Amino acid sequence: MLEAVFYARFHPERGPSVIHQYPEASILSATPKDSKLLDFSDISSWVIPAYELCNRSLAVCTNGHRILGFPVSLENESYERTRFTYNVCFVLSEDADPRQWDSVVSKTAAFFTDIEQADGLLQAEEQLDGLKWAGEESYPAEDVGFVYTLLETIFCELNAYGEACVQVADSQVLNLRLAVPVPATSHVRAWDVPLLIRGLPNADEWTSDLALQRIQAYVNGINHIHRIAELADMEIKLVVKTVQELLRHKRVMLLDIFHFNAIYTLTIDFAWFAKDEAMQQECSRYVAKPTSIAIEHQTLVTLYRNLGPGISVRDFYSSHKTQLEHIDIRRFITFGVIKGFVRRIHKYALAVDSQSIPARNSLSDGSPTKAQPGLDSDAERDRAWRKAAFSSGWATPPPEPGANGQDLEAVQRRTPPLVEVEDESRDVSLVRKYLDGRHCMDEICVALHLSEQQVLNQLRGSDVLFFDK
Partner 1 sequence: MPPGSTPMVAILLITHSRSGPKLVFHYPSEPRLPSCGNAGDAADSGNADGDIWNGNGSVARLRRGSYGDGEVVRSTEASPTKNANDYAADGKVLGISVDSLEKLLSPGRWCDRKKFEVCLDGLTFVSYPVYADPEGKWSRSHERGTDARLKDRPTTPRNASGTQFADQHRIDNEREPGIIITEPTSAKSIQDFAHVPDSLDSRGGLSLGNSENSGSTASAFGPEPLTAFHVVFALSTSSKQHEITEEVYEQLAKKLSKALAYCQKQSSYVGVENRRLSQIQAKSKQDGTSSQIPCSEMVENSELASALGVIYDKVCVGAVAAFHLNGIEMSLQLHHSEREDASAFIDRHFTVLLLEDRDDVLRGLSHPEASPLAYFIREHTPTKSLQKQATKLGIPVNNLIYLAQHLVRWQKARAIAPLHSRNTYIVGRGAPLDHLETHISAYAKRFAGLPSLPQMLKVLGGRPVKYGLLIPSRDHQGPYMDMLAYLIRHKFVERLETSGWLQAPPVLLKKPMVNDEPNKNRRPISVASLLSPQLRPIEDDDTASISSERTAIPVSIMDTIRRPDSATQTMSPVLSADPPTTRMVKDPLNSTDVDIVCLEHIREAVEDEDLRERLPSLYPYFDGDGALEDIAAREGLKRSTVDGWLDLLQKDGFLLTFRHV
Binding to partner 1 in span 283-322, by CB under 8 A: 291, 293-296, 298-299, 301-302, 304-306, 308-311, 315-316, 319-320, 322
Among 159, 185, 220, 406, binds partner 1 (CB under 8 A): 185
Instruction: Decide: is 112 part of the binding site for partner 1 (CB under 8 A).
Output: no
Q: Is 109 in the site for partner 1 (CB under 8 A)?
A: yes
Measured CA to CA, the distance from residue 403 to residue 407 in angstroms comes to: 7
DSSP three-state, residue 201:
coil
- DSSP-derived 3-state class of residue 11: strand
Q: Round to the nearest angstrom and report the end-to-end CA distance of the chain.
A: 47
Of 17, 26, 73, 372, the one binding partner 1 by CB under 8 A: 73
Nearer to partner 1 (CB atom), residue 131 or residue 263: 263
Tell me which of 149, 153, 172, 265 binds partner 1, using CB under 8 A: 265
DSSP state letter for 223: S
Q: How far is the CB of 51 from partner 1 (least distance, A)?
A: 6
| Residue among 207 and 322 whose Cβ is closer to partner 1 | 322
Tell me the one-letter amino acid at 147: V
211 is a contact residue toward partner 1 (CB under 8 A): no
Q: Mask 137-176, x = binds partner 1 (CB under 8 A)?
A: --------------------------------------x-
d(CA 143, CA 133): 14
Stretch in the footprint of partner 1 (CB under 8 A) among 64-72, 220-228, 252-260, 372-380: 64-72
**If we measure between CA atoms, which residue out of 144, 151, 146, 133 comes closest to residue 30?**
133
Is residue 250 within the footprint of partner 1 (CB under 8 A)?
Answer: no
Q: Which of 354, 361, 391, 425 binds partner 1 (CB under 8 A)?
A: 354
**Looking at the DSSP assignment, which residues form a beta bridge with residue 84?**
74
Q: For partner 1, which stretch binds (CB under 8 A), given 148-156, 223-231, 264-272, 328-336?
A: 264-272
Cα gap 339→245, rounded to integer Å:
21
Report if residue 466 touches partner 1, rule: CB under 8 A: yes
Residue 255's closest CA among 283, 288, 228, 236?
A: 228
Cα gap 247→242, rounded to integer Å: 9
Per-residue string for binding with partner 1, 13-52, x by CB under 8 A? --------------------------x--x--xx--xxxx
* CA–CA–CA angle 419, 312, 413 (5° rounding): 25
Residue 413, classed as helix, strand or coil, is helix
Beta strands in 250-393 (DSSP E): 252-255, 263-266, 342-345, 347-351
User: Which residues between 78 and 107 bind partner 1 (CB under 8 A)?
Assistant: 82-83, 95, 97-99, 102-103, 106-107
Which of 34, 325, 380, 400: binder of partner 1 (CB under 8 A)? 325
Region binding partner 1 by CB under 8 A among candidate stretches 108-116, 195-203, 394-402, 414-422: 108-116
The H or E element that residue 248 is part of is helix 236-248
Does 207 sit near partner 1 (CB under 8 A)?
Answer: no
Reported in sequence order, the residue ranges of 178-251 that DSSP labels E, i.e. its strands, are 193-196
The rounded radius of gyration (Å) of the Cα atoms in the chain is 32
- Does the protein bind partner 1 through residue 210 (CB under 8 A)? no
Give least dist CB 449 to partner 1, A: 24
Of 86, 90, 139, 270, the one binding partner 1 (CB under 8 A) is 270
Q: How far apart are CA 6 and CA 19, in angstroms?
A: 8
Our finding on whether 179 is near partner 1 (CB under 8 A) is yes
Name the minimum Å distance from CB 34 to partner 1: 19
Q: How far is the CB of 220 from partner 1 (least distance, A)?
A: 24
CA 68 to CA 87: how far, in whole Å? 10
Does residue 468 bind partner 1 (CB under 8 A)? yes
Interacting residues with partner 1 between 363 and 402 (CB under 8 A): none
**Among the listed residues 124, 173, 182, 203, the single contact to partner 1 using CB under 8 A:** 182
Between CA 396 and CA 406, with CA 400 as vertex, the angle to 5 degrees is 75
Residue 271 sits in the site that holds partner 1 (CB under 8 A) = yes
Secondary structure percentages of the chain, helix, strand, coil, to 5: 40, 20, 40
Per CB under 8 A, 416 contacts partner 1: no
Q: In whole angstroms, what is the distance from residue 5 CA to residue 21 CA? A: 6
Where do the DSSP E strands lie in 284-386? Answer: 342-345, 347-351
Give the nearest distance from C-beta 405 to partner 1 in angstroms: 27
Does position 60 interact with partner 1 (CB under 8 A)? The reply is yes
CA 68/CA 70 separation, integer angstroms: 7
Q: Which of 30, 141, 144, 357 binds partner 1 (CB under 8 A)?
A: 357
Q: Which is nearer to partner 1, 58 or 131 (CB)?
A: 58
- Phi/psi zone of residue 310: left (φ > 0), alpha (ψ -120 to 50 degrees), beta? left
**Distance (Å, whole) CA 460 – CA 399:** 32
Pick one of 267, 281, 415, 454: the residue that binds partner 1 (CB under 8 A): 267
